[in-house]
Amino acid sequence: MIEISTAEHESFNNDGFLIVDSLIESSIVPDLHQAFSDLFRGKFESGVRPDEVNWQEATGDPSLSRQICNGWKANRDIARVVLDEAIGKAIASLAGWPGVRIMIDNVVWKPPATKSLGFHQDSAYLSWFTPSDLLTCWIALDDTRADGGTIEFVRGSHKWKLSEPEGEFHAPEDYRKPMREAAAREGVDPEIVYIEVDAGGGSFHHGWTWHGSGANLSANPRRSLVLHAMRSDVEYVPENFAQGIGPIYSRYKRLGDNQLDENYFPILWREDGYRTPQIDNYLGSRS
């Protein structure tokens, strides 16, 4: 169980993020390391290819961070974490939502000497569903330090004016530039917070919190597993499919309505006790 105290609620609401020392058991970290290795070698344990495969061992640029989206569909060790009911309930508690479903996961691996990931706001890309609220759980699978390219948040930036997406995500020349420009429009001096936790710890952050990560200047890898969660009662907005990542995930729209199909966006937790039943069938079928 992940208990969120009143003080932690207040901290999250004020800062736009919350650092948590332990999100998963350290005993499962080696299995997740193996899952990362398999995914980036093109080995998909479930037989299903992830929705976005942005790096593979045979062809990927070694200077870039490795990323896969919706690794949960390809590997059940990944799925057991990002589809976890306790994490879903903690997200609902922080967000004040009636329920939570997964939008996507990110499998991110930054070996030593890999370049930065640009500062951005997750919710700026999400007009393809409504309400487009988002809350993210970021889980470190290695001990993270400032010089290792850990995630960086700007305290209180979720309260800034909403911005349009801008700048490169993978290896921009100046990875903080979009954030600095947004801070200048606000007339504030941004306070950057590095998330330094041991493997198994991590953070939650608001969909409008500015964040990114620098180059990995350490001798150690920085692997992280990220759950981007949305409300359980969201609906598609078809007229906005051309924006953001809508062209990718709109492929799952049903013909007759704008409801998101639970087979592709399963519900992790809902206040009435409901949870997509196919989850446990999927997780329990591994031999």
Q: Is residue 287 part of a domain?
A: no
Q: What is the mean pLDDT of residues 175-182?
A: 96
pLDDT at 72: 98
CATH number at residue 229: 2.60.120.620
Q: Is residue 219 part of a domain?
A: yes
Contact 100, 267 (CB under 8 A): yes
Q: Is residue 85 part of a domain?
A: yes
The predicted model scores a pTM of 0.96
Does residue 285 register a pLDDT over 60? no
pLDDT at 86: 97
Residue with tokens 């080696």: 30
- Of all residues in the chain, the percent with pLDDT exceeding 90 is 94
Question: Structural domain of residue 205, as residue ranges?
Answer: 6-282
Q: Is residue 1 part of a domain?
A: no
Q: Is residue 78 part of a domain?
A: yes
Q: What is the mean pLDDT of residues 130-138?
A: 96
Question: How many independent structural domains does the chain possess?
Answer: 1
pLDDT digits (tens, 9 = 90+) for 187-210: 999 999 999 999 999 999 999 999
Which pLDDT band holds residue 167 (cuts at 50, 70, 90)? confident
| Average pLDDT score, the chain | 96
Does residue 101 register a pLDDT over 60? yes
Does residue 287 register a pLDDT over 50? no
Q: Is residue 16 part of a domain?
A: yes
Q: What is the mean pLDDT of residues 136-157?
A: 98
Q: Cβ neighbours of residue 231 under 8 Å, at least 6 residues apart?
A: 95, 97, 98, 99, 100, 101, 131, 133
Q: What is the mean pLDDT of residues 74-79?
A: 98
Does residue 286 register a pLDDT over 80? no
- C-alpha span between 36 and 54 (Å, rounded): 13
